[in-house]
Chains A and B, each alone.
Chain A
Amino acid sequence: MSEVDYSYFDALVDSVFVLNKDKGISYCNESAAKLFESSVRRLSKGRPLSEYAKFANENLFTADAHPMQEVQFELVAGGKSGKVQMATQPFVNSKGEAGWIAVIRDVTLEEALHAKHHKQLQELEAYSKNLEQMVQERTAQVQKANIMLAAIMNSLGQGFLVFDRDGTCSDFYTKACEDILESSPAQKKIWDVLKLNPNEIETFKMWTQATFAEQLPFDSMKDLGPSAYKHSQDRHVRLDYFPIRAEDNKIVNVVQVATDWTNEYLAQQALEKEKKYARMIIKLVTSKRQFASFLESVPAVLRECRKLALDSQHFDYETSFRLLHTLEGEAGIYSALRIWQASRQAQEVIEPVKRGEATFTPEIHSKYTQAINHLEAEYKAFLQENAELFELAGMGGSQKVELEKVHVSNVIHHLKSKAVSTDTIHYLEDELMRETVISSLNHYNDVISDVAARLSKKVYPIEFVGGDLRLFTENYQNLFSSLVHAFRNAVDHGLEGPEDREMMGKDPSGRLVFKSEFFELNNRRWVRFALSDDGQGIDASRIRTKFAGSTESDDEIIQHVFDPGLTTRTVVGEFSGRGVGLNAVKAEAEALGGRAIVKTEIGKGSQLIVEVPDLGFPNSQKLSA
């Protein structure tokens, strides 16, 4: 039992023993008990330290103090052995007896840890040496792959280049760029590579900004980038974009792929041209008569257009524009490209006058005359170009038919004087002189399918109701010609796109019905033509915006579609939108003493109704005109 209070050693981490003069243990703390795998109570009974553990160095318990030194030890009870650091301090207690304080620090664990770390360190070293070798090997592989990749890329027909958010192109690009984009893009600005104009550069910079920031998903943004490169040698180059993302998924670069599709484009063009020519021949064969009457009508249009411009003070540009517009429409039907183009150009000359943006100045007058002369030259060139074809088709025959008609007319006249019954006369007139409506209008099927195809719309062939109704079609030639606008309008403005139609629960293909019927009015026979479409109808409120303050009803307000110059479109389309079309139909109907009206139902469709008198046999003068 200890007589001195050693309790201040209790809380120490190191093991502390107080030994008496016989090296018996008079005190030990918890750490010491733990080291000796025993308890404080059992150990502090004054029994010698050597009964519990053997220390390799016994010379630590001398009259001198010994600082910490490493000593091997082993528990007598067996099992535990290891290395400890031990310091001893002799002292004399209050009774004058000598003793020692021994402080022991167990370093077995440290030793073990050190050994373990050493092993790991060695492994790490070995690994890093290995890594170096692996990196070398990988680099060699990558270099090899790079060479291969470069070889592949440079043999590609497409131009690949990479640009960053500032628009700077990297050094990495395919050889094909130099050919397709006509320069090496390395370190250039992408807009300089694409040779964009200042306005386009501004847009492009906005696009780059929005694309790298992914203000909209890349898939949405890529469609807004430039889609073509303007090649100086008229090659057709298409551009596509792909993102390169960093680990955080942010776009760091954009790959641009430039593809030269000139051959494909030219093939398409050639095919298109061939198709047009074929279409013209088909029309020549199937509607020889209409084709001939179209060709014959051109000189009359030219004459009229010249006459209208004689008096520049009162230049009737509306009529001139209408005539040219109808000619353009007809030339389109017959794929007479030269005439089509020249009549368009002539319209463009007077368009500013028509829109009220300019007056008919001597300068415009001279341009107009030039345009009409050009139109005439193109018309003649067209005739000459196709002379052989027209000969083969027996186009001269149209004149012959007219003469025959005159003969027939003479015969009928003769029969009348011979007191043949009126019924028989009428029958003969009907059979020999009148022609079916369908024969004059069937070619509009080509118009509607052509317009529909270019507008990505779908349309069924025209459904002719009462198409076998017979008329002296010569009387209605101008009216029928003007109907080109009505058919185009019906497809362009009337019919919705297939997706829209599907959305509305309609057949994706639009339906046009042309109905012809006789009716009585004031003891006279009239004919009513009705062209119906099952499209979107005419939005009266839209037309109303152009007639602010009008008190007209919806039915009345939509009749303004016949106004010259009315269009709800902001852009002039290829087919309609010049605001002249239906005006021409109305003018022709009224010229025949009839009228034209429209009816509509929003979402259901529109109907153009033309009512004209059933005119009798035209005189021979009119026929040959």
Chain B
Amino acid sequence: MFPKETNILVVDDSINIRQIIVDNLKRLGFVKVETAGDANDAYAKLVSSSKGPAPVSLILSDLNMPGPSGLDFLKQVRDSEKFKEVPFIMITTESEKQAVIQAAVSGVSGYIVKPFNLDTLTKRLQEAWKKHNP
């Protein structure tokens, strides 16, 4: 499982969902959680954190966001030499299957269907961890 000091970036345009995810991550013991309201802001935070002592090493992003979508963001991250290995979990809804398949092909580390609970989040984090640390 991801170490508790993992720096996590949570991306969602809904302030509430963002807060819920942050709360849940904190409840799981994670102490370093950053947030972003859209993909552009998220990429900027990814870049700036990489220059500091604790670079972002796990991303949880909403799929459906105004502006660049979560899929666009994923592709941007996977295309970057620097961030392509960063575990990336997509937050989706039941009706977004096609985009999730595209995300799977584009190298997403896992996905979570909203609404989700703590158990599901834990399970998906474990799966993503296993995928990146076989």
Which chain A residues have a beta carbon within 8 Å of chain B's beta carbons?
203, 206-207, 209-210, 215-217, 220-221, 223-224, 496-500, 502-504, 536-537, 539, 541-542, 545, 570, 602-603
Contacts and interface: CB of A to CB of B under 8 A. Distances in A.
Contacts of B104: 206-207, 210, 215-216, 221, 224
B108 A503 contact: no
Q: How large is the interface on B (under 10, 10 to 19, 20 to 34, 35 or more residues)?
A: 20 to 34
Contacts of B23: 503-504
A504 B18 CA distance: 11
Given A215-B104, A502-B117, 18 more contacts: A203-B101, A207-B104, A209-B105, A210-B104, A215-B105, A215-B107, A216-B104, A216-B127, A216-B131, A223-B97, A224-B101, A496-B115, A499-B117, A503-B20, A503-B117, A504-B19, A545-B66, A602-B16
B80 interface: no
Contact of A217 (B37, B107, B127): B127
A119 B131 CA distance: 53
Interface string B40-76: 0000000000000000000000001010000000000
A570 B131 CA distance: 33
B110 A206 contact: no
Interface in B17-38: 17, 19-20, 23-24, 37
Nearest to B110: A216
23 contacts: A203-B98, A206-B101, A206-B105, A209-B105, A210-B101, A220-B111, A223-B97, A224-B104, A496-B115, A497-B115, A498-B115, A499-B116, A500-B16, A502-B117, A503-B23, A504-B16, A536-B14, A536-B16, A541-B15, A542-B15, A602-B15, A602-B16, A603-B16
A545 B15 CA distance: 13
Contacts of A210: 101, 104-105
Given A215-B107, A220-B110, A220-B127, A504 B20 contact: yes
A510 to B, nearest CB: 13
B102 interface: yes
B116 A570 contact: no
A539 B16 contact: yes
Given A210-B105, A545-B66, A496 B100 contact: no
A454 to B, nearest CB: 13
A539 B13 CA distance: 10
B15 A216 contact: no
Nearest to A499: B115
Going nearest first, the 6 A-B pairs with the smallest beta carbon separation are A497-B115, A210-B104, A499-B115, A536-B16, A499-B117, A503-B20
A497 B25 CA distance: 19
Contacts of A542: 13-15
Nearest to A214: B131
A503 B110 contact: no
A220 B23 CA distance: 24
Q: Which of B15, B23, B24, B104 has the most CB of A within 10 A?
A: B104
A207 B110 contact: no
B64 A570 contact: yes
B118 interface: yes
Interface string B1-21: 000000000000111110110
Contacts of A220: 110-111, 127
Interface string B89-119: 0000000011011101101101100111110
Given A500-B20, A570-B64, A224 B97 contact: yes
A539 B14 contact: yes
Nearest to B116: A499
A541 B37 contact: yes
B117 A224 contact: no
A216 B24 CA distance: 23
B120 to A, nearest CB: 9
Contacts of B17: 500
B19 A603 contact: yes
Contact of A537 (B16, B107, B118): B16
A499 B20 CA distance: 10
B22 to A, nearest CB: 11
Contacts of A223: 97
B133 to A, nearest CB: 15
Q: Which of A220, A221, A499, A603 has the most CB of B within 10 A?
A: A220
